[in-house]
Amino acid sequence: MMFTNEDLKKLLWPLIVEQILAVLVGMVDVVMVAAVGEAAVSGVSLVDSISILIIQLLSALATGGAVVAAQYIGRKDTGNACRAAGQLLFVTVLVSLAVTAAALVGNRPLLMVIFGHVEQEVMDNAVIYFFLCALSYPFLAVYNSCAALYRAMGNSRISMKVSIVMNLINAVGNAFCVFVLHMGVAGVGIPTLVSRAFAAVTMLILIQRQDNVIRLTDVRQLKPEGKMIRRILAVGIPNGLENSIFQVGKLTLQSLVSSLGTAALAGYAVANNLATIAYLPGNALGLGLITIAGQCVGAGEYRQARDYTRKLLILNYILAGVICVFMFAGQGALVSIYGLSEESGQIAKEMIAAHCFAMAVWPLAFTLPYTLRASFDARFTMIISIFSMWVFRIGFAYLFVLLFGFGVLGIWYGMFIDWIFRAAVFVWRFKSYEKRLPKMGKLA
């Protein structure tokens, strides 16, 4: 076997810890902003919807680089793996700089186009937070790329350690700027910028270490190479389009939520924030599958790739099940942390309860596709995901909210239908995994 149980533990547990830290710090951010008022919570929530879109785009490109690098490692071709590392950094930094420029120039007009005419106080908070987040995108691109390369090597402890420090800087900075300096929304944005800059510089230094299988040793590695970039983009572009259009769809739904009033928007924001806890195991295991399946496919071990995927899916269900039981039982206590109004709090609790039951299909819809992407099947996952998003999640959400009057819960009912469709299709695709891989799974 290419990965022993000890190898899997070393790879996966740091990823889970890193995901937990990211979500906990995100929750702390919302709690701290809640002390400023519901308008601030809503403003940050609107910008976070855009930031997630950009983060997903950068992460998708990093995934493309990680898949290529992992397959080269599986083939024991470290030279090309290092070349892939340089090209990944070149592409992600270039894209992030373009996005940052657009965000800084567009800012308020862009927010108004996306979200319409929300309350003035909400928009003012969103403008401040969006400006500060935009400055951090290039740093985030560097951190994500280097972290993905370390994961491709099977070393996730490095990114976990840097993530711990980064999130500590963010959390302590938030507390100081919000409660001591009383900076409002800016008190959350500035620590985010500082912490991401620290993480980027640190990871850029670490990726140059001589004992790394993949490393950057010369600035000439950043010189564009068309063939290598195309290999990265073969996974990165479909994955990026899938994630970006997915987030655009969520922004469309955010506009629908904002039309239901501030109470619905605040309750929806908190429910979304808490729901990410249930996604933690799947997101972490999915990142692990990029390394595991990628190296197996690179080595031609297709059956092992399939078996590891099944093993990690079972683990995903166990961990997610435990989380959902505790979330369902403690929904009241969790929502109370945010200090919402009674109406907003009730909305959040109803959404969390529904979400806990729907998680029964989430791993098949979102963790399983990581193996397909690691096998250069990203185009298929992109097509299915985009189709399902717009037809089921968005289509049914508008139907449930505008025609049947289900309120904000109708948006999640549409989301659950989307999950069921994805799960069914991806399971069907995975059943033919070993037959298709010899034809399409390996690097040219």
Mean pLDDT of 89-94: 93
Q: Determine the pLDDT at residue 166.
A: 93
- Are 255 and 268 contacting, i.e. CB atoms less than 8 angstroms apart? no
Which of 442, 350, 425 has its CA nearest to residue 77? 442
**pLDDT bucket at 26, cuts 50 / 70 / 90:** low
- Are 69 and 152 contacting, i.e. CB atoms less than 8 angstroms apart? yes
Which of 162, 243, 171 has its CA nearest to residue 204? 162
**Is residue 300 pLDDT above 60, yes or no?**
yes
Q: Which long-range contacts (CB under 8 A, 24 or more apart) does 330-338 make?
A: 334/274, 335/270, 335/274, 337/27, 337/31, 338/30, 338/31, 338/34, 338/41, 338/270
Residues whose CB is less than 8 angstroms from the CB of residue 103 and which lie 6 or more positions away in sequence, other chains included: 50, 54, 110, 130, 131, 133, 134, 137
Q: Percent of the chain at pLDDT above 70?
A: 96
Mean pLDDT of 55-59: 84
Comparison of pLDDT for 363 and 276, the residue scoring more: 363
> How far is the first Cα of the chain from the last one, in angstroms, to the nearest whole number?
25
> Kind and range of the H or E element at 399?
none
Comparison of pLDDT for 54 and 435, the residue scoring more: 54
- Are 53 and 221 contacting, i.e. CB atoms less than 8 angstroms apart? no
- In sign, the C-alpha dihedral spanning 82, 237, 249, 418 is negative
Q: Determine the pLDDT at residue 443.
A: 53
Comparison of pLDDT for 440 and 214, the residue scoring more: 214
406 — alpha (psi -120 to 50), left (phi > 0) or beta?
Answer: alpha
Hey, is 416 helix, strand or coil? helix
- The per-residue pLDDT for range 192-251, each reduced to its tens digit, is 899 999 999 999 999 999 889 888 887 778 888 888 888 888 888 888 788 778 777 877
Q: pTM of this prediction?
A: 0.79
- Are 320 and 281 contacting, i.e. CB atoms less than 8 angstroms apart? yes
**Is residue 389 pLDDT above 80, yes or no?**
yes
- The per-residue pLDDT for range 63-83, each reduced to its tens digit, is 888 888 888 898 888 888 888
Q: Determine the pLDDT at residue 419.
A: 96
- The per-residue pLDDT for range 348-380, each reduced to its tens digit, is 899 999 999 999 999 999 999 999 988 888 889
**pLDDT bucket at 414, cuts 50 / 70 / 90:** very high
Q: Determine the pLDDT at residue 401.
A: 87
Would you tell me the crossing angle of helices 157-175 and 120-152 to the nearest 10 degrees?
Answer: 160
**pLDDT bucket at 434, cuts 50 / 70 / 90:** low
- The per-residue pLDDT for range 138-163, each reduced to its tens digit, is 999 999 999 999 998 989 999 999 99
> Kind and range of the H or E element at 103?
helix 78-115
- Are 50 and 107 contacting, i.e. CB atoms less than 8 angstroms apart? no
Arithmetic mean of pLDDT over the chain: 87
Residues whose CB is less than 8 angstroms from the CB of residue 353 and which lie 6 or more positions away in sequence, other chains included: 328, 331
- Are 267 and 340 contacting, i.e. CB atoms less than 8 angstroms apart? yes
**Rounded CA separation 4/205 (Å):** 30
The alpha carbon torsion through 359, 364, 366, 368 (nearest 10 deg) reads: 150
Which letter, b or e, does each residue of 310-331 get, where b requires 16 or more Cβ atoms within 10 Å of its Cβ? eebbebbbebbeebbeebeeeb
**Rounded CA separation 218/117 (Å):** 49
**Is residue 436 pLDDT above 80, yes or no?**
no
Hey, is 224 helix, strand or coil? coil
